[in-house]
């Protein structure tokens, strides 16, 4: 597993984890924001009116209402990214990473407006009578680049696993195990069966499920997250200062957190922002293509609301809860994951300035350290060697090794810092990341230890609805490439992958996710930039027609 993760990390460092990808993503959003004169601000109120159905016509074609399309798209974005993704961003880049998530969302409101409008404009009717849309259709029908459309569709299938499938169930199973002690594979099996029943019904059953789940789960989560923030009200101002204070210089080392440079916080914040709201990824246009509308711009305006709800509201509240509760830089008792561990050959202390600086450079990939190779001697569960174990980017403390529920006695072989025998369970104190970190924050609220039930149930609803939505996205891509009859086979593989990911190492899941998202995003950004004039013309035409039909608006 460690070798697989290292290969994936190497690939990710050249794509999603590279600075050029981040600049292309933000640059595209900034370009359209200026080119279209800040549509995320100017058209925000109009978007709400469209969502309410004020301008609907009986002759509008589509399989879903504006609200159902928005709910389906939100169910694809409001998920693990809002709970585990924000926690991961802050864990990696510190509080200032949240600032870059918000910036990504603000610019992403325009990006999503453009990609949804263009995809809706060039949608088609599939062989089974359903509406098919998405970036692959404007690539084929307008750009006449069938090869690019095929690449995007293939990337969508890959990303359906990397975005909507594997990270979602992995976070659910981790959260359920942490809260209720239920084994990961059991959670995965039960939810995989339920998922199979839902997605076989196609878009009609999907929208009926998601437009009920999304409002309910958002309300539950909102109550929970406000309970954390208000309970820790005295830390709100210092938390805001930490979020915005480290924007230029990065987040300083504090507590168990080893610090993060500006570049690292910037990169992680933008990447997690993209995972959260998917603006530019090209996924939401597939859901919005099914919406009933007589022209494309109105649906694009509805899509403006997605990054605002998903990231600017929900992610910001989650981030504020994490920072104000103080759990983000504290070490907590937890079970270690092997892919997140490294055994260093020397003893380091975080309270030593030189050691702290060295570990900071190592944790942000700026310096290499000598890794331990040899045998760990363990007596009554305690490692006897003089060395340092890093877990979750922090120095592990109070490490205990168990096997089959008993304290371990024996030898564990280590090669280049990695455990070669992984039959033991290792526990200790370290920083938390992803869903377990958010769970820890929710315990420091008015709800006390019941807070973890709120986050676990909320995560289950959030992430499961995301998996449902992404099965639809992947199915549309399969329809484009191979035809409707092959969708059933894709859904079967999707359900199997969902089950397997429930007990796969979390670090590997998230690394693969970053690669899959980047592969899908790049061709879509290229496509919408190529169609910038088409977008401008379509928008101008919309307002001319709208003013004719609604002179008093």
Is the same domain home to 338 and 324? no
pLDDT value of residue 446: 92
pLDDT value of residue 206: 61
Is the same domain home to 301 and 183? yes
Is the same domain home to 306 and 209? yes
pLDDT value of residue 13: 77
**pLDDT interval class at 208 (50, 70, 90):** low
Average pLDDT, the chain: 86
Count CB-CB contacts under 10 A for residue 450: 13
Nearest C-alpha neighbor of 516 from the set 167, 98, 107: 167
Which CATH number characterizes residue 324's domain?
1.20.1740
Helices (H), 232-329: 236-245, 262-277, 284-288, 296-303, 305-307, 316-325
pLDDT value of residue 293: 72
In a domain, 435, yes or no: no
**Final residue before a domain boundary, out of 430, 456, 483:** 430
Ordered DSSP codes for 358-399 = HHHHHHTTS---PBP-EEEEEETTEE-SS-EEEETTEE-EEE
Q: CA of 395: how far to CAs of 372, 419, 425, in Å?
A: 15, 16, 18
**Final residue before a domain boundary, out of 430, 455, 473:** 430
Task: For 257-270, write each residue's pLDDT tens digit.
Answer: 877 777 778 877 88
Q: How far apart are CA 465 and CA 168, in angstroms?
A: 9
pLDDT value of residue 211: 61
CB 148 within 8 A of CB 523: yes
**Final residue before a domain boundary, out of 430, 461, 485:** 430
Is the same domain home to 109 and 27? yes
In a domain, 56, yes or no: no
Is the same domain home to 319 and 465? yes
Asked whether residue 63 carries a pLDDT value surpassing 60, the answer given is no
Is the same domain home to 81 and 100? yes
In a domain, 450, yes or no: yes
Is the same domain home to 316 and 183? yes
Is the same domain home to 132 and 33? yes
What's the N-to-C CA distance of the chain in angstroms? 59
Q: How far apart are CA 65 and CA 287, in angstroms?
A: 11
Q: How far apart are CA 347 and CA 473, in angstroms?
A: 49
In a domain, 552, yes or no: no
**pLDDT interval class at 201 (50, 70, 90):** low
Tell me, rounded to whole angstroms, the distance of Cα 420 from its chain centroid.
Answer: 31
Is the same domain home to 520 and 470? yes
Is the same domain home to 385 and 494? no
| Residues composing the chain | 553
Q: Range with the lowest mean pLDDT among 22-31, 209-218, 353-362, 422-431?
A: 209-218
Strands 131-132 and 382-383: unpaired
Is the same domain home to 72 and 105? yes
Task: For 218-243, write each residue's pLDDT tens digit.
Answer: 787 888 899 999 999 999 999 999 89
pLDDT value of residue 158: 94
Q: How far apart are CA 519 and CA 36, in angstroms?
A: 26
**pLDDT interval class at 212 (50, 70, 90):** low
Burial class (CB in 10 A: 0-12, 13-18, 19+), 548: exposed
**Which among 233-242, 244-253, 450-459 has the top mean pLDDT?**
233-242
Strands 425-430 and 124-125: unpaired
pLDDT value of residue 113: 95
3-state secondary structure of 131: strand
In a domain, 106, yes or no: yes
Asked whether residue 214 carries a pLDDT value surpassing 60, the answer given is yes
Q: How far apart are CA 321 and CA 225, in angstroms?
A: 6
In a domain, 305, yes or no: yes
Q: What is the CA radius of gyration of the chain?
A: 23
Domain extent at residue 408: 332-430
Task: For 113-169, write each residue's pLDDT tens digit.
Answer: 999 999 889 988 766 677 778 899 999 999 999 999 999 999 999 999 988 899 889
Q: What is the largest CA-CA distance in the chain?
A: 82
CB 29 within 8 A of CB 112: no
pLDDT value of residue 174: 85
Is the same domain home to 173 and 193? yes
pLDDT value of residue 127: 67
In a domain, 549, yes or no: no
pLDDT value of residue 494: 95
Beta strands across the sheet bearing 397-403: 332-335, 425-430, 397-403, 406-407
pLDDT value of residue 209: 64
Asked whether residue 202 carries a pLDDT value surpassing 60, the answer given is no
The structural domain count of the chain equals 2
Asked whether residue 346 carries a pLDDT value surpassing 80, the answer given is yes
Residues 6+ apart with CB under 8 A from 379: 409
pLDDT value of residue 60: 61
In a domain, 534, yes or no: yes
Handedness of CA 256, 261, 266, 268 (dihedral sign): negative
Count CB-CB contacts under 10 A for residue 50: 22
């Amino acid at each position: 597993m460690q070798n697989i993760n290292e290969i994936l990390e190497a690939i990710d460092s050249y794509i999603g984890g590279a600075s050029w990808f981040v600049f292309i993503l933000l640059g595209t959003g900034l370009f359209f924001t200026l080119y279209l004169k800040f549509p995320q601000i100017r058209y925000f109120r109009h978007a709400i009116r469209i969502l309410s159905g004020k301008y609907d016509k009986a002759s509008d074609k589509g399989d879903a209402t504006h609200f159902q399309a928005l709910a389906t798209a939100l169910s694809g974005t409001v998920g693990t990214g809002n709970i585990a993704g924000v926690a991961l961003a802050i864990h990696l880049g510190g509080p200032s990473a949240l600032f870059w998530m918000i910036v990504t969302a603000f610019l992403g409101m325009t990006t999503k407006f453009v990609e949804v409008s263009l995809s809706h404009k060039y949608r088609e009717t599939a062989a089974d009578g359903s509406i098919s849309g998405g970036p692959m259709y404007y690539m084929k029908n307008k750009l006449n680049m069938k090869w690019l459309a095929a690449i995007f569709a293939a990337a969508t299938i890959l990303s359906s696993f990397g975005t909507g499938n594997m990270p979602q169930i992995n976070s659910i199973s981790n959260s359920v195990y942490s809260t209720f002690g239920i084994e990961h594979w059991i959670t995965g099996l039960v939810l995989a069966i339920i998922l199979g029943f839902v997605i076989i019904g196609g878009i009609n059953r999907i929208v009926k499920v998601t437009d009920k789940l999304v409002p309910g789960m958002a309300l539950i989560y909102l109550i929970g997250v406000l309970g954390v923030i208000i309970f820790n009200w005295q830390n709100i101002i210092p938390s805001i200062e930490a979020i915005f204070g480290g924007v230029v210089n990065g987040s300083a080392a504090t507590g168990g957190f080893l610090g993060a440079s500006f570049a690292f916080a910037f990169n992680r914040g933008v990447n997690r922002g993209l995972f959260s709201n998917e603006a530019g990824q090209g996924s939401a246009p597939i859901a919005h293509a099914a919406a009933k509308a007589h022209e494309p711009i109105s649906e694009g305006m509805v899509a403006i609301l997605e990054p605002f709800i998903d990231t600017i509201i929900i992610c910001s509240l989650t981030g504020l809860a994490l920072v104000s509760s103080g759990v983000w830089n504290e070490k907590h008792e937890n079970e270690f994951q092997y892919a997140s561990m490294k055994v260093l050959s020397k003893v380091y202390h975080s309270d030593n300035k030189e050691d702290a600086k060295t570990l900071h450079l190592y944790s942000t990939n700026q310096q290499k350290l000598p890794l331990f190779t040899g045998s760990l001697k363990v007596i009554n569960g305690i490692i006897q060697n003089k060395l340092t174990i890093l877990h979750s980017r922090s120095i592990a403390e109070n490490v205990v090794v168990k096997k089959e529920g008993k304290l371990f006695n024996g030898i564990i072989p280590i090669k280049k810092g990695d455990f070669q025998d992984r039959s033991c369970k290792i526990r200790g104190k370290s920083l938390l990341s992803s869903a377990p970190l958010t769970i820890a924050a929710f315990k420091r609220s008015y709800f006390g230890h019941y807070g973890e039930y709120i986050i676990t149930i909320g995560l289950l609803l959030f992430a499961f609805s995301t998996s449902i939505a992404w099965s639809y996205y992947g199915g549309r891509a399969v329809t484009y490439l191979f035809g409707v009859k092959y969708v059933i086979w894709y859904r079967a593989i999707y359900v199997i992958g969902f089950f397997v990911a429930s007990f796969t190492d979390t670090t590997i899941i998230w690394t693969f996710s970053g690669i899959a998202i980047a592969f899908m995003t790049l061709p879509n950004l290229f496509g919408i930039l190529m169609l910038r004039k088409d977008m401008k013309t379509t928008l101008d035409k919309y307002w001319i027609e709208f003013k004719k039909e609604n002179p008093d608006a």
